[in-house]
Structure 1
């Protein structure tokens, strides 16, 4: 399928751009409730999952149906942390293919990029895409407006 991704109906309603002719009446409803991190996530990824779940719950877009996608985002964020630690420890490059002459002096060597640099870059791209799906980037957030609940007057019961 080519072109732009279809905007979910609930986001059209929240953004105020919903039109009956462009809505999908047969779209499955999202399931409300508390999201729980899947068992396959590591301890750190579970922490990230819980942090993200709180953020999207506060934004009013949390759905139990999205737990797997949120788990992927948490796993990718953990991968970014791991790759960053590897790069900090080992550097962005390494020396390979060193050749010496008869007296032990270096004749040639190759300097290669650390594999963790490419892995982190790919994880960052994927995490950014997943987080944008939840409105967790400035541009994605600017496309959605959430109505704020009416604040109750604490003195209303007195009068």
Structure 2
């Protein structure tokens, strides 16, 4: 399985490892600009609860400044916000009821067992983590967007003369 394609700007930030020429870079930039979705209807869906809508608006305000959110991203971001809201609810219920709850089995024996919402909370955390990475909402995801370090080796005479054309 091959790697995911990345936007040309990100490719360039990471150092143009595949040695694309200036012409190839310009062609990719033009193609990506033509394919870029609009960002004029980025609003929280009506099916989100108030907490999820608040989180949606908070994230959109941050990502809008960076130009990283578009109309086609709404459902994925709403899914993240819905999972966030459910996660908060699970956390509150576990805090109220405790980590261990009493369970009566078929033999009428009562035992202390881990709260069933702990499993749901873990599932929601995994869902949020994978969606957060898609939007650059984690430190690791943002680190991938950071500018790659420059090579310390000096340029050869040919690189000085011809630059990226090589």
Q: Does TM, scored on the shorter chain, surpass 0.5?
A: yes
In structure 2, stretches of 5+ residues that fail to align are 148-166
1:74-119 Cα shifts (integer Å, max 9, x gaps): 101101100000100111111212778xxxxxxx532222111111
Contact kept, 8 Å, 1:14 with 1:144, in 2: the verdict is no
Cα gap change, 1:64/1:90 in structure 2, threshold over 3 Å: closer, same or farther? same
Matched, 1:111 2:112: yes
More strand by share: 1
1:7-55 Cα shifts (integer Å, max 9, x gaps): 432562573556449x695894222335100111111111111011111
Q: Which residue is 1:88 aligned to?
A: 95
1:92-150 Cα shifts (integer Å, max 9, x gaps): 111212778xxxxxxx532222111111111011101101101111111011148xxxx
Aligned counterparts of 1:57 and 1:143: Cα–Cα separation in 2: 19
Contact kept, 8 Å, 1:46 with 1:74, in 2: the verdict is yes
> What is the RMSD computed on CA atoms of the aligned residues?
2.8
Aligned counterparts of 1:92 and 1:83: Cα–Cα separation in 2: 11
More helix by share: 2
Residue correspondence of structure 1 range 63-142 to structure 2 within 5 A = 63-97=70-104, 109-142=110-143
Aligned counterparts of 2:9 and 2:121: Cα–Cα separation in 1: 31
Aligned counterparts of 1:81 and 1:55: Cα–Cα separation in 2: 21
Contact kept, 8 Å, 1:132 with 1:140, in 2: the verdict is yes
Cα gap change, 1:28/1:115 in structure 2, threshold over 3 Å: closer, same or farther? farther
| TM-score where L is the length of structure 2 | 0.69
Aligned counterparts of 2:133 and 2:144: Cα–Cα separation in 1: 11
Contact kept, 8 Å, 1:15 with 1:143, in 2: the verdict is no
Greater relative contact order: 1 or 2 (C-alpha under 8 angstroms, separation 6 or more)?
2
In structure 1, stretches of 5+ residues that fail to align are 101-107, 147-159
| TM-score where L is the length of structure 1 | 0.72
